[in-house]
A = this chain, B = another copy of it.
């Protein structure tokens, strides 16, 4: 019996979790609920080699280093990181993964999962996974249906049809996100489950259905995989082919049209953490119903969510609010209307003066480590750089700025116009305008340094990369 190939969808933007989630480092990659990221937790759930083959992660080029680094730091080996040259929704992404998996195992079963859902990896969960895999091996395209415990209006529902054995049912119908009345009706009537977006698919049968029902997606994904090229640890899908795929979800393209769709009702703990209210529901709360992450004091308030990265938040006399405080943005709103955040983030994105707040955090991650912007002046900027042991930045120069580096932790190897120096804690070096320079961490601990830039233009695009070990020159 062939093992299961996990297919982790990791290209989402998570705009409804602004201001924590930003397009350069969205929801699945951030420290949202403490400890590992949701992506790392997803990887961890499919890490058992007895049950699973190494995972295929599908994401876009921008997130490739995040995926690689987070997998590495979680200590989990990924089978392949498949890069989408353009976003084409889930149907094409899953079809590409299926083509790739079939190349090494013609009986591959795909466990397709989101990278940004919260699931408790309980024995009950794995029993459901195994039951779904058995149904998939019987030829069913299985979707996991979560047994509802409340009249939730934030999810789509699936009406279950006749039983198929192994606990699975035929799909009778897909139901769009209902209003409260309809949700209560379905909950009372029974036979309805939430559409989790998690699937178990026999790759061959899935592609056969795809070829029949959505031949453009089938061909686009097949050609994109055939024409893919390796780039370091990544597989870049061929762009022209992949871009020719319709931009459509697997639910619409396949599941709502195939007669092979099955639904497995399950009741393990699951949340899509789709908006701040779901994050609140997924967290421990005090006796007043408040969930708090980070430094905060709550007084005379109930049923609220407080999340703070640094600032001390004090909330007084409020009910049903979300207060999300990051270094450069603060959201305060009704927790029960947290769905609005997506639209608000869109407004911020549309405005030049606020766009950056939806894109980047104060800390940016790079394959070699990263940097935090800690102070911006008119003609100067201060950053903290952190470089992982053994890593090296690109050989580069700037046309418009000089830099001072002060090492505050670890050891730096600095090359300036060909001359190499070693700097340890409390040593500094000056990089005059126009010099070629390169920074490396030859040591065993993380290198941290303070960079003071001065000059008339300090944008990130004034970096001329002469050489780079991450393929960016």
Chain A: residues with CB nearer than 8 A to chain B? 19, 295, 297, 299-300, 308, 310-318, 321, 323, 325-334, 337, 340-341, 344, 347-348, 354, 357, 372, 374-375, 377-380, 382, 384, 402, 404, 406, 408-409, 425-426, 428, 430, 448, 450, 452, 454
Contact = CB atoms under 8 A, between A and B. Distances in A.
Q: How many copies does the complex hold?
A: 2
Contacts of A326: 311
Contacts of A377: 384, 408-409, 448
Contact of A311 (B318, B328, B402): B328
Among A299, A328, A337, A404, max chain B CB count under 10 A is at: A404
A311 B295 CA distance: 17
Contacts of A327: 311
Given A377-B448, A409-B377, A337 B311 contact: no
Nearest to A317: B334
A181 B19 CA distance: 44
Contacts of A379: 408-409, 425
A452 B330 contact: no
Given A312-B329, A318-B334, A428-B428, 6 more contacts: A311-B328, A312-B354, A317-B340, A377-B384, A378-B409, A380-B450
Contacts of A310: 328
Contacts of A378: 409
B357 A330 contact: no
Chain A binding surface SS class: strand
Contacts of A430: 428
A402 B426 contact: yes
B357 A333 contact: no
Contacts of A325: 311, 325, 330
Contacts of A454: 406, 408, 425-426
A321 to B, nearest CB: 7
A117 B297 CA distance: 29
A314 B426 contact: no
A405 B428 CA distance: 10
A323 B374 CA distance: 24
Contact of A316 (B314, B317, B344): B344
A377 B448 CA distance: 10
Nearest to A333: B316
B299 A311 contact: no
B340 A299 contact: yes
A1 to B, nearest CB: 51
Contacts of A295: 354
19 contacts: A19-B314, A308-B330, A312-B328, A313-B331, A314-B329, A314-B332, A314-B348, A316-B332, A318-B334, A325-B330, A330-B330, A375-B384, A378-B409, A379-B409, A380-B408, A382-B382, A402-B426, A404-B406, A406-B406
